[in-house]
Amino acid sequence: MYKYWLVFLFLIIVAFSNNSELDKKETIIGKVVAITDGDTFKLLTKDSTLIKVRLANIDCPERKQPFSTIAKQFVSNAIFSKTVKLNVLKKDRYRRYISNVIYDDSLSLCHELVKNGLAWHYKKYSKDSVLQALEDNARRNKLGLWQDKNAMAPWEWRDLKKKKSKQ
């Protein structure tokens, strides 16, 4: 009888773990219908579902930060109104699809933003050596936001803004 209970318990655990959203990496294809900022946009899927997408492993300048408008325009030029492929890693607490985005058949939006000095590699959440190499190169060549010797990472800028609002 004990063995049956163990098998039953095992089957329940497997069933529930397989039902959790995005356990396996999911691929979604859709058309970009809105650009929120340099690292967030809205995508309309083939079944007419509108989803919010947040680029994985990078962070673009926040609104009112230098280069935020340029990053947003870069993303708009790259993907707006185009069909893109999302390699979804997970959903965040805001229900955004954290994704690597492929456009024009083979370009990684995350890589292109970092390569052009329009985003930071978000090392707190990523150990991606390619993104780090792209950021190091952009810094070395003073591309985009790296022209500013006092460039402030968006997470630091958000923290500073929170501290100021508490005063």
Residue 24 has pLDDT above 90, yes or no: no
pLDDT top residue among 22 and 152: 152
Active site annotation includes 62 = yes
pLDDT of residue 1: 58
Task: Catalogue all structural domains in the chain, each as residue range(s) with its CATH number.
Answer: 21-148 (2.40.50.90)
Catalytically annotated residue among 21, 26, 54, 112: 54
Distance CA 90, CA 25 (A): 8
Active site annotation includes 54 = yes
Active site annotation includes 158 = no
Whole-Å CA distances, 5 to 2, 8, 14, 18? 5, 5, 14, 20
Kindly report the CA angle at 157 between 153 and 158, in degrees rounded to 5? 120
Question: pTM to 2 decimals?
Answer: 0.84
Catalytically annotated residue among 21, 26, 62, 93: 62
pLDDT of residue 165: 83
Q: Coil, strand or helix: which one is 117?
A: coil
Give the pLDDT confidence of 89-118 residue by residue, as tens digits. 999 999 999 999 999 999 999 999 999 999
Q: Coil, strand or helix: which one is 38?
A: coil
Phi and psi dihedrals of 94, rounded to 5?
A: -95, 10
Catalytically annotated residue among 63, 93, 95, 96: 96
Q: In the block, which residue shows the tokens 């069909």?
A: 83
Whole-Å CA distances, 165 to 77, 129, 159, 161? 34, 36, 10, 6
pLDDT of residue 162: 87
Whole-Å CA distances, 158 to 57, 62, 63, 117, 161? 17, 8, 10, 19, 5
